[in-house]
């Protein structure tokens, strides 16, 4: 995997992307909040916009904090994927920091969650 060239605070969040023939996997670890969410959103939208990309898996199992700005970034990426005819899937594992915000907001039922 290679780190994406976006301006993110490496002490708070780490975002890595790996591409395959028809998709990509983005691995996120750390805190997704109002400071780091804009960079994550930019990364997700950039990967979704790559030619030939049909499926993007976002691994959130390493996320330790997710607030409303992070949820908004994920929702924006989800809408962009649907508008572009692409599939955005999220891997959350048992990460309470991610599962609870998704459940509370109802996004758990909107997003494609895989494990």
The CB-based long-range contact list for 76-80 (8 Å cut-off, 24+ gap) reads 76/41, 76/44, 76/45, 77/41, 77/44, 77/45, 77/48, 78/110, 78/111, 80/44, 80/45, 80/48, 80/49
Pairwise CA distance, residues 46 & 68, whole Å: 21
Phi, psi of 67 (to 5 degrees): -110, -170
Could you name the CATH architecture of 14-114?
Answer: 2-Layer Sandwich (3.30)
Q: Any long-range contacts for 105-108 (C-beta under 8 Å, 24+ apart)? A: 105/71, 107/71, 107/74, 107/75
Q: What is the pLDDT of residues 23-46, one digit of tens each?
A: 999 999 999 999 999 999 999 999
- The pLDDT assigned to 3 comes to 46
**pLDDT (tens digit per residue) in 41-56:** 999 999 999 999 999 9
- The pLDDT value recorded for residue 99 is 97
pLDDT block averages, 10 residues each, the chain of length 115? 51 88 92 96 95 95 97 98 97 95 97 93
pTM of the model: 0.89
Give, as one character, the DSSP assignment of residue 11: T
């Amino acid at each position: 995997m290679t780190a994406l060239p976006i301006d993110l605070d490496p002490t708070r969040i780490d975002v890595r992307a790996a591409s395959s023939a028809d998709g990509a996997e983005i691995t996120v670890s750390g805190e997704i909040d109002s400071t780091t969410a804009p960079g994550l959103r930019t990364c997700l939208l950039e990967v979704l916009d790559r030619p030939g990309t049909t499926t993007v898996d976002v691994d959130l199992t390493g996320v330790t904090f997710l607030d409303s700005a992070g949820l908004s970034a994920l929702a924006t990426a989800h809408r962009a994927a649907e508008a572009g005819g692409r599939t955005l899937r999220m891997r959350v594992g048992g990460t309470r920091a991610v599962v609870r915000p998704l459940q509370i907001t109802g996004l758990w039922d909107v997003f494609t969650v895989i494990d």
